[in-house]
């Protein structure tokens, strides 16, 4: 989960005050969070499809 890791790195940098422009950092963090959420939804969907296909094959 590369986006999740990037989000954590950005959040850590902002929390420590290492970022030179806090307002811009917050915008970047918000965008990274949205990307992370989309990636997680995509992963959950793929897992659901694989499980559904697996159980459909068993029931036939």
- Containing 17, the helix (H) or strand (E) segment is none
Domain boundaries, the chain: 2-59
| Cα–Cα nearest to 9, from 34, 32, 27, 38 | 32
State percent of the chain over pLDDT 90: 22
pLDDT of residue 45: 94
Average pLDDT, integer, range 45-58: 91
- Containing 20, the helix (H) or strand (E) segment is none
Question: pLDDT: is 3 or 41 the higher one?
Answer: 41
pLDDT of residue 1: 53
């Amino acid at each position: 989960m590369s986006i999740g890791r990037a989000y954590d790195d950005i959040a850590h940098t902002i929390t420590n005050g290492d970022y030179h422009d806090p307002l811009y950092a917050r915008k970047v963090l918000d965008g990274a969070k949205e990307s992370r959420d989309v990636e997680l939804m995509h992963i959950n969907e793929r897992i659901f499809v694989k499980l559904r296909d697996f159980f459909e094959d068993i029931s036939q």
